[in-house]
Homo-oligomer: A and B are copies of this chain.
């Protein structure tokens, strides 16, 4: 077993979570290849050095290009703002490195397609950080659906609501408002919602979307204001290829919602739902329960659900957001072992997610349904 040299680009919130996950994964899981924390890059050399020390990386740099070319780096891990992903990823691919990139993959489907194609041409593996797919509760939902426990699915309702942009005078991550960085909340939170819908139900055939910019101008540090060209809230009706229909909604201006990632699925034999403000719970309703005993059962995540037992053998003791990332990194490392199935979700899957984002934008502009095939 050889280890894998990891080069991490970016040391902000999500970069730190990646670092935590690299450290935990080998103790939690029996890994085919171990991560070796080789180098950390940040635009500020001092920040890079401090983060490398704190996170346990061997070296640091303020030049991501040198990291990409570092021969001891096998996997380039990109946690920069979205609009920088493509240049870095393509450089890494060209240098023969595997690439692990945060979501959303690109500002639009064209960029995502180029990245997908570059990876395919380069023969490297890729993975994108749709971490909510890794939650044991998500795995349980998929198992319930795939096993036919709720029958044929006909309705899907997905939402992702937070409120970190609610205050117009407190601008979090100003780059998220740049139109060249994506489509605001559609890209940031909507992409999570789309990836969950695809993971649980399958390909989406067509959408009609409605994008709303609630706050057209926001204050930035120093008192200046910026015009906002991206939506704060997005609503979409969707139709899956298998005939199911549903809704997808996202907002970063949902007051009081801190981490509402909710899914509800209706089938001919029952229903399930979850909301990741309670990250370790799923509610399941089975049609045909004994008369007078019908109801939703609240299932707490436990060791019989995917990957939970590796952390803790007792149910109800709870996993965290960081733990989801640990599972994701296990999937990355496992997927880079010899003869293993490739890691997933990869750039190809992220491109499919991005096509739905673009279809929502186009349908909002046209006021009509847009087939994903048109993107």
Instruction: Please report A residues at the B interface, Cβ cutoff 8 Å.
Output: 13, 16-17, 19-20, 23-24, 26-28, 30, 54-56, 140, 143, 150, 154-155, 157, 162, 164, 166-167, 208, 210, 212, 214, 233, 235, 237, 245-247, 249, 251, 253-259, 266-267, 269-271, 276-280, 283-285, 287, 289, 291-300, 302, 304-305, 311-323, 367-369
11 A-B pairs whose Cβ atoms sit less than 8 Å apart in the complex: A20-B24, A20-B28, A27-B56, A247-B247, A255-B266, A255-B269, A258-B316, A259-B316, A276-B318, A294-B315, A312-B322
A25: nearest chain-B partner, CB-CB: B23
| A258 and B369 contact, CB distance less than 8 A | no
| A293 and B284 contact, CB distance less than 8 A | yes
Which 6 residue pairs spanning A and B have beta carbons closest together?
A: A258-B316, A256-B285, A259-B316, A320-B320, A292-B304, A255-B271
Report chain B residues within 8 Å CB of A245.
Answer: 210, 212, 233, 235
| B13 and A30 contact, CB distance less than 8 A | no
Q: How far is the CB of A266 from chain B (nearest CB, A)?
A: 5
For A255, A319, A320, the residue with the greatest tally of chain B CB atoms inside 10 Å of its CB is: A255
Report chain B residues within 8 Å CB of A294.
Answer: 256, 299, 302, 315
Docked complex Cα distance between A314 and B320 (Å) = 12
Q: How far is the CB of A346 from chain B (nearest CB, A)?
A: 25
Report chain B residues within 8 Å CB of A249.
Answer: 157, 247
| A251 and B296 contact, CB distance less than 8 A | no
Report chain B residues within 8 Å CB of A237.
Answer: 210, 235, 237
A273: nearest chain-B partner, CB-CB: B256
Report which of B143, B208, B266, B320 forms a contact with A318, defined as CB distance below 8 A: B320
Report chain B residues within 8 Å CB of A279.
Answer: 317-318
A233: nearest chain-B partner, CB-CB: B155
Report chain B residues within 8 Å CB of A233.
Answer: 155, 245
If A27-B54, A162-B314, A291-B304 are given as contacts, then 8 extra A-B residue pairs at C-beta distance below 8 Å, sorted by A number, are A27-B55, A150-B255, A233-B245, A235-B247, A256-B285, A258-B302, A277-B300, A320-B322
Docked complex Cα distance between A130 and B239 (Å) = 32
Q: How far is the CB of A162 from chain B (nearest CB, A)?
A: 8
| B164 and A295 contact, CB distance less than 8 A | no
Q: How far is the CB of A119 from chain B (nearest CB, A)?
A: 29
A29: nearest chain-B partner, CB-CB: B54
| B297 and A302 contact, CB distance less than 8 A | no
A236: nearest chain-B partner, CB-CB: B237
Report chain B residues within 8 Å CB of A296.
Answer: 256, 297-298
Docked complex Cα distance between A313 and B348 (Å) = 30
| A320 and B316 contact, CB distance less than 8 A | no
| A314 and B235 contact, CB distance less than 8 A | no
Report chain B residues within 8 Å CB of A276.
Answer: 318
| A208 and B367 contact, CB distance less than 8 A | yes
Q: How far is the CB of A99 from chain B (nearest CB, A)?
A: 22
| B13 and A20 contact, CB distance less than 8 A | no
Docked complex Cα distance between A289 and B20 (Å) = 32
Docked complex Cα distance between A101 and B213 (Å) = 41
Report which of B157, B285, B321, B368 forms a contact with A255, defined as CB distance below 8 A: B285
| B287 and A271 contact, CB distance less than 8 A | no
